[in-house]
Every structure is written in C-alpha cells, then in structure tokens.
Amino acid sequence: MQLCRCRNYEEISQRAAELLTAQLTWKKDSTLGLATGGSPVGLYRKLRERFAEGLVDFSEVKTVNLDEYRGLAPENPQSYRYFMEENLFRHVNIHPENTYVPNGLEKDTETACRNYDAVIQRLGGIDLQLLGIGRNGHIGFNEPSDHFSSGTHCVKLSENTIEANQRFFERREEVPTEAYTMGCGAILRARRILLLASGRDKAEAVHAMLYGTITPQLPASILQLHENVLVLADEEALGQ
C-alpha cells in the first residue's frame, strides 16, 4: 500500500483527478469503480472541469458504483444514482447505458446482488476502484463484522454510518438502514485501487488501515493484501 501525503482536501482532489485522467488516457475504455459521499465530490468537480477543457474523454468509459441504498428510487435526491448524475454523469460525455449502480428497488436481495455481480463480471472486472473510508473503517458499505464479504450483498447499516449520513436527510427517520454494496472480495479484484481520506475524524481509521491488523472489524484493513493501492490522505487524516 502506497501513501501520498497531501496538504488538504483540495490537493487530494487535484491529484486524484490527475490519476484518473492518466488512467483514461492509457486505457480509454476503462471500467471505473466509483464511490459516493463527501470524499470524491472534489474529484468529480475536477473531472468536470477537465472534461470542459478537453483534457479527459468518457465516451468509452464504463462505471460500476460501490453501493446504493435499499428502497430508494434512482430519481430520489438521496439515492446514489442521483448523486452520480448530479456530480458527474450528466456533465460529461459518458453513455448512460455504460453506468451501473445497484438496483435499490429490487426487493429480492439475492436477485439484486447476483445481478450486480454478473454486471461486474460481464465488464471484465474493474480497472480502477475509487474508495473513501468511513470513521469506523468501512469501505463501500462493508461495515465492521466478523467476516469479510466476497460478492455484492445487502448490509444493515451501523449506527455510526447512519449518524454520518443523517446530514443528507431532513430527519433521522428518513435515513435508510440497509444498502446493497459491493463486497470486499470484489473490491480486492480491482486491478488498481485509489482511496481518498480527508479530515481529522478519519485519522484513527486511516492509521488502523495502514498499520493495524487485518480484521473484518476494520474492513479497510483488507486493502493491505492488494498489490496496487494508493492512499491519498491529507494532514488531518494522518493525525498531523
């Protein structure tokens, strides 16, 4: 695992945009694993700017998102499909049929998870997977557990995660308690992984991910087993 120390969130976003631009220059038809939440917002802004300047092309790109809230329709402003449309997809020349997000409206969890794993397999796997890290060390919605999940699965969100996501909803009661998420095994099968970490509230999880024991109680620790992981972290996330 490689660590790149950045001064602040802006530098994280800039460096991440440069790396994704390089990835798409090298392989125009890359399959990107994308993330939501606060960590990649700056990156997506930088990519929109680069697209407007003619520096990056998404016409052959395919994307698979890490997760989606169970029970939310794509047009719901709090869904992750909506997040991706607003932050990236509708601003660039990516083809809508090449963007994939788990089906939050599929009530049968087995079907939803099986179908999403089939999509990733059909695309030939993920060339570059983008990740954030939760305060409890989750990646995607893989919460602390007694085991690492392999494929896409339905997870009950921890109180810690629900609390962190509450800021996006008017009332706590509106925050979904379940989500479909790509499993740790699927994440590890990505050819490259780029993790973004910003803020003092992430410092404990980042330190444990980098230097602690590999344990499902801190899902991000499994990234120590991957041969091509780059962590972009700012001074606060590194406890500095």
Domain layout of the chain by residue ranges: 7-195+210-226
What DSSP string describes 144-160? S-SS---S-EEEEPPHH
Annotated catalytic residue: which of 136, 142, 165, 236?
Answer: 136
Catalytic status, residue 136: yes
State the pLDDT at residue 148: 93
Count other Cβ atoms within 10 Å, centred on residue 146. 7
Which residue in the list 68, 106, 127, 143 is annotated as catalytic?
143
65 tagged catalytic: no
Angle between helices 41-52 and 9-26 (to 10 degrees): 50
CA-based nearest residue to 84, from 134, 119, 34, 131: 34
Of 138, 165, 234, 236, the active-site residue reads 138
- Please give the chain's pLDDT, 240 residues, in tens: 999 999 999 999 999 999 999 999 999 999 999 999 999 999 999 999 999 999 999 999 999 999 999 999 999 999 999 999 999 999 999 999 999 999 999 999 999 999 999 999 999 999 999 999 999 999 999 999 999 999 999 998 878 778 877 777 777 777 788 999 999 999 999 999 999 999 999 999 999 999 999 999 999 999 999 999 999 999 999 986
**Which one of the listed residues 65, 67, 87, 103 is annotated catalytic?**
67
226 flagged as catalytic: no
Known catalytic residue: 143?
yes
The CA distance from 26 to 126, in Å, is 15
Model-level pTM?
0.93
Burial label for 231, CB within 10 Å (0-12, 13-18, 19+), is buried
CATH number of 7-195+210-226: 3.40.50.1360
